[in-house]
Structure 1
Amino acid sequence: MTEPIDQRDPDSLKLRRVYYQTDIPSFGEGVVTDHDLETGIVTVMDDENQSFWRGMEDLVEVIV
């Protein structure tokens, strides 16, 4: 079950649209499906092929 928006941690990137860095010159775009605030790991579902990418929150840039 999804938490209501007003009850989610304001620092969480969950459900935010982001660019994410897959390699030094390569980026993807998608939606954050999970964000572990303790470890800084995010999971992003890619818009293009619906694959999942996991990496550090420092490698994503919030679009909206």
Structure 2
Amino acid sequence: MSLVNATVEFQTDLDSFGEGVVIAHDEETGGLVIRDDEGIHWRGVEDHVEVILPPNEQAAHAG
């Protein structure tokens, strides 16, 4: 299942975490690109994020 548009929590440092939206997901490799609230892009893998809001629920909460 693609995580594009999912809101996720991700580790930014040893003791720091951030929250952002997945803007790209390679389902074969598990690679992700996440954009945080400040517009910064983070790269990681799906095993290292926690889904806060799945992509199919984003539309239900919009507007």
Structures share a fold, TM > 0.5? yes
Cα shift readout 1:17-54 (whole Å, capped 9, x = no counterpart): 0101112311110100000011110000001x110000
Q: Kindly, what percent of the aligned residue pairs are identical?
A: 55
CA RMSD between the two structures: 0.8
What is the aligned residue count?
Answer: 53
TM-score, normalised by the number of residues in structure 2:
0.78
Number of the residue aligned with 1:44 = 34
Q: 2:2 aligns with which of 5, 12, 30?
A: 12
- Which runs of 5 or more residues in structure 1 are unaligned? 1-10
- Which runs of 5 or more residues in structure 2 are unaligned? 54-63
Structure in which a larger fraction of residues adopt helix:
2
Which whole-Å CA distance do the structure 2 matches of 1:44 and 1:50 have between them? 9
Q: Please list every run of at least 4 consecutive aligned residues from structure 1 whose deviation after the TM superposition is greater than 3 angstroms.
A: none
